[in-house]
């Protein structure tokens, strides 16, 4: 199902986890997930597209911020308890500091037209970045038709009809699991 | 920040986090109920503005709770709200991660993991759509979003290039 990987896959050190997740947090415009995939799968090659998507999928079914749940699982996978603390800690710490600064900056300059214009431009580009990531993941993972249909349903339900996410996730999970069961049993 | 407000933040966001299946932003209506309707900590406009600011900033979307906490109790409020929203579910995710390692390779676990993949990818697409709708105030941002989508999808260059381009285009045309 997935494309063959070039064989040696690097394993991060604890410092790697800290620096990498810190960077993901600070460049994570439009949300973490698309950026985490970009860095973990494409740049660092610590995970494949399939592995990243599976981890994120589990993170979405569990309660709590899904990017955080996924980061805990990735950290634990490579460095146990320490990894599960260091990665997510860096991912939240940097942006939290930035946000504190931004909150003060925004109170002072938020109404300046140039600031608004730049923010609007970045937001529009970030939206495309997130959409492009979804397209790229679909292309790389190459899901069988049944799973592709489940993915499209999730996209439409949450993105167009704005169905609350718990209903989308819990309502579609049985169909996804059924589709995966048939695909894996057929092999 | 008084002790009463501290506990209201801890219990309020802690309870919300436990029902936030699908992501922190899924429970935005619940957050609105807590900070605007129940406690009257801020107005509707404040709420929307904080949310927009958190969306514009990099980092996990759920950090918007940090801004709500900031509004209520400064730095201490920011830390309290963020930790209340993230800590309880983190223990749950960690416990699950351990369970997953122990059960790795079981057929049914592989089925479940693979079955959730399309939902994860579909929801990334959905958040892109929602972001795009929020920014589509004219043809310039729509073209920007479309170009950025194709760039990120079809090339392996860093997406930071499109964000930089977005900032320049925004400055020139928006």
Chain A residue with CA closest to B154: the answer is: A136
d(C-alpha B163, C-alpha A126), whole Å: 6
Chain A residue with CA closest to B26: the answer is: A165
The whole-number pLDDT of residue A3 equals 55
Instruction: Please name the member of A88, A95, A125 whose beta carbon is closest to the beta carbon of B58.
Output: A95
**Count of pairs with CB atoms under 8 A, one residue in A, one in B:** 401
Residue B143, Cβ density class (10 Å: 0-12 exposed, 13-18 middle, ≥19 buried): middle
d(C-alpha A160, C-alpha B36), whole Å: 27
Question: Chain A within 8 Å of B109 (Cβ-Cβ)?
Answer: no
- Mean pLDDT, residues A85-98 taken together: 93
The 3-state secondary structure of chain B, one letter per residue: CCHHHHHHHHHHHHHHHHCCECCHHHHHHHHHHHHHHHCCCCCHHHHHHHHHHHHHCCCCHHHHHHHHHHHHHHHHHHHHHHHHHHHHHHHHHHHHHHHHHHCCCCHHHHHHHHHHHHHHHHHHHHHHHHHHHHHCCCHHHHHHHHHHHHHHHHCCCCCHHHHHHHHHHHHHHC
Instruction: With cut-offs at 50, 70 and 90, classify the pLDDT of residue A6.
Output: low
A42 secondary structure, DSSP code: I
Per residue in A23-80, pLDDT (tens digit) is 999 998 878 899 999 999 999 999 999 999 999 999 988 988 989 999 999 999 999 9
Contact A128 B114 (CB under 8 A): no
Q: Which residues of A touch B91 (CB under 8 A)?
A: none
Instruction: Please tell me the distance in Å from B4's CA to the nearest CA on chain A.
Output: 23
Asked if pLDDT for residue A187 goes beyond 80, the answer is no
Q: What is the pLDDT along chain B (174 residues), one digit of tens a residue?
A: 889 999 999 999 998 898 787 766 667 778 888 999 899 998 887 787 777 778 778 888 888 899 899 889 888 999 999 999 999 999 999 999 999 999 988 999 999 999 999 998 998 898 889 888 888 889 999 999 999 999 999 998 888 899 899 999 999 987
**Structure ipTM:** 0.87
Taking a contact as any Cβ pair under 8 Å apart, which residues of chain B between 67 and 106 contact chain A?
A: 67, 70, 75, 78, 82, 85-86, 88-90, 92-94, 96-98, 100-101
Asked if pLDDT for residue A123 goes beyond 90, the answer is no
| Domain ranges within chain B, ordered by starting residue | 1-102
Per residue in A129-181, pLDDT (tens digit) is 889 999 999 998 999 999 999 999 999 998 899 888 888 888 999 999 999 99
């Amino acid at each position: 199902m997935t494309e063959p990987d070039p064989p040696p896959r690097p394993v991060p050190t604890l410092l790697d986890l800290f620096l990498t997740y810190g960077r993901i947090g600070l460049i994570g415009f439009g949300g973490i997930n698309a950026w985490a995939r970009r860095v973990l799968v494409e740049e660092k090659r610590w995970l494949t597209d399939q592995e990243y998507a599976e981890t994120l999928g589990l993170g979405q079914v569990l309660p709590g911020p899904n990017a955080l749940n996924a980061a805990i699982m990735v950290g634990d996978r490579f460095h146990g308890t320490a990894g599960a603390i260091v990665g997510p800690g860096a991912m939240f710490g940097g942006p939290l500091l930035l946000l504190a600064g931004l909150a003060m900056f925004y109170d002072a300059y938020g109404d300046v037209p140039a600031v608004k214009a730049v923010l609007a431009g970045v937001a529009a580009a970030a939206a495309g970045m997130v959409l492009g990531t979804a397209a790229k993941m679909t292309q790389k993972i190459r899901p069988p038709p049944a799973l592709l249909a489940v993915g499209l349903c999730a996209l439409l339900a949450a993105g167009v009809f704005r169905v609350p996410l718990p209903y989308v996730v819990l309502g579609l999970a049985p169909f996804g699991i059924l589709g995966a069961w048939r695909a894996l049993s057929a092999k | 920040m008084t002790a009463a407000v501290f506990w209201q933040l801890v219990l309020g966001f802690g309870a919300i986090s436990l029902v936030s299946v699908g992501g922190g932003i899924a429970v935005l209506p619940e957050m609105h109920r807590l900070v605007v309707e129940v406690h009257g900590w801020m107005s509707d406009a404040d709420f929307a503005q904080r949310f927009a600011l958190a969306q514009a900033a990099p980092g996990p979307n759920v950090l918007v709770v940090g801004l709500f906490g900031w509004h209520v109790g400064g730095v201490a409020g920011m830390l309290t709200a963020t930790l209340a929203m993230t800590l309880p579910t983190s223990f749950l995710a960690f416990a699950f991660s351990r369970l997953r390692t122990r059960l790795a390779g079981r057929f049914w676990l592989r089925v479940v993991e693979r079955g959730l993949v399309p939902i994860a990818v579909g929801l990334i697409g959905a958040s892109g759509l929602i972001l795009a709708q929020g920014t589509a105030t004219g043809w310039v941002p729509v073209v920007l979003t479309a170009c950025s989508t194709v760039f990120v999808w079809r090339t392996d260059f860093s997406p930071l290039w499109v964000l930089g381009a977005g900032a320049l285009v925004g400055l020139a045309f928006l």
